[in-house]
Amino acid sequence: MNEMSTSEQRSVEVVKAINGLEKVVLREIHGSSVEVYFYGAHVTSWKNEHGEELLFLSSKAIFKPPKPIRGGIPICFPQFSNLGSLEAHGFARNRLWTFDDNPPPFPADATNKIFIDLILRPTKEDLKLWPHSFEYRLRITLGPRADLMLTSRIRNTSTDGKPFTFTFAYHTYFSVSDISEVRVEGLETLDYLDNCQKRERFTEQGDSITFESEVDKIYLSTPTKITIMDHEKKRTFSIRKDGLPDAVVWNPWDKKARTMADFGDDEYKHMLCVEAAAVEKPITLKPGEEWRGRQELSTVPSSSKQLDS
Ligand code: BG6
């Protein structure tokens, strides 16, 4: 165990975890915590001040490279989905990231927050798969009210003068008590591409979104705030995003769940992915240019007035 820094009850520790993979544990002064594997820069746990887990992690998740971890917050880069020749959802989620010892300043992060900076640069092997030099810096921040922020900064570092293009998603798996009782607000009346129907374009009808079968939709040009209401838990998740116009909503339901080796047959009842993403319009960076994409997650009790803030 390696203590990176402490101040009162706040801490950042590196610990050996499943299959010898290392993870960083951030603990905030009021008791909330976040766990991040270097493997994939993958957040596998986010707990509030009462120690309640807010993310879904499959009991069958395989912590063994090159298999991505099922649950938590996988990072999809340099592509969302499995279009083109790259592996599904890109390779960032199954590479070993390292501490970023020298991050340039991040303007939005204030005091009273605990964070870590990770970095991914392509190896020679990666460059054979995707021939573009980049630096991907990720800051993971835990705020005093257990808010969890992920800020990605991707820079084109190539010297050959060539731009590159990518798509992206924070593939967040939220833990919910019962998917049939969950409602998502902020996506009603929007256009979406339906992955279950060959990515055909439709327009969402009616009120908030509820779930009664498999869903795999890419909502386009969404508002910057989306909420997930979990009635049974009396909890509302709020997702705020910046630089990420789209939002993917995914639940495999029972039939697809049975085809996934790293996912329990009934686990679909207790998870919902709402993914802050940039899919419809890929992002292009010229050499020297940088892109930023940020997601901020928080929870409030469902009855609370804070919801409108
Ligand atoms: C979602 C996609 O984001 O991820 C789905 O929209 C996909 O189509 C799901 O099935 C899980 O992907 P993977 O590669 O983690 O099994």
Best probe residue, ligand 1, of 89, 215, 275, 280 (max atoms within 8 Å of C-beta)? 89
Distance of alpha carbon 8 from alpha carbon 233, whole angstroms: 32
171 lines ligand 1 (CB under 6 A): yes
Q: Give the pLDDT score at 105.
A: 80
100 lines ligand 1 (CB under 6 A): no
Q: Give the pLDDT score at 288.
A: 98
Among candidate residues 175, 171, 140, 135, the one with its CA nearest the CA of residue 155: 135
- Kindly indicate the confidence band of residue 26, based on its pLDDT and cuts at 50, 70 and 90: very high
Q: Which atom of ligand 1 is nearest to the CA of 218?
A: 6
Q: Give the pLDDT score at 308.
A: 43
Overall residue count recorded for the chain in this entry: 309
pTM above 0.85, yes or no: yes
Q: Could you list the active site residues? A: 171, 275
* Per-residue pLDDT reduced to its tens digit, 235-255: 999 999 999 999 999 999 999
Q: Give the pLDDT score at 111.
A: 62
* Per-residue pLDDT reduced to its tens digit, 191-221: 999 999 999 999 999 789 999 999 999 999 9
Percent of the chain at pLDDT above 90? 85
Q: Give the pLDDT score at 1.
A: 46
Span from the CA of 183 to the centroid of ligand 1 (angstroms): 20
Residue 137, beta-bridge partner list? 119, 153
C-alpha R_g of the chain: 19
139 Cα distance to chain centroid? 12
By the 10 Å C-beta count (0-12 exposed, 13-18 middle, 19+ buried), 157 is classed as middle
Domains parsed from the chain with CATH numbers:
12-308 (2.70.98.10)
Best probe residue, ligand 1, of 73, 81, 255, 260 (max atoms within 8 Å of C-beta)? 81
Q: φ and ψ at 192, to 5 degrees? A: -145, 155
* Per-residue pLDDT reduced to its tens digit, 142-188: 998 899 999 999 999 999 999 999 999 999 999 999 999 999 999 99
Reported in sequence order, the residue ranges of 126-265 that DSSP labels E, i.e. its strands, are 134-142, 148-156, 164-170, 173-175, 182-185, 191-194, 200-203, 215-219, 225-230, 235-242, 246-251
296 lines ligand 1 (CB under 6 A): no
Looking at residue 308, its amino acid is: D
Span from the CA of 306 to the centroid of ligand 1 (angstroms): 32
250 lines ligand 1 (CB under 6 A): yes
* Per-residue pLDDT reduced to its tens digit, 118-132: 999 999 999 999 999
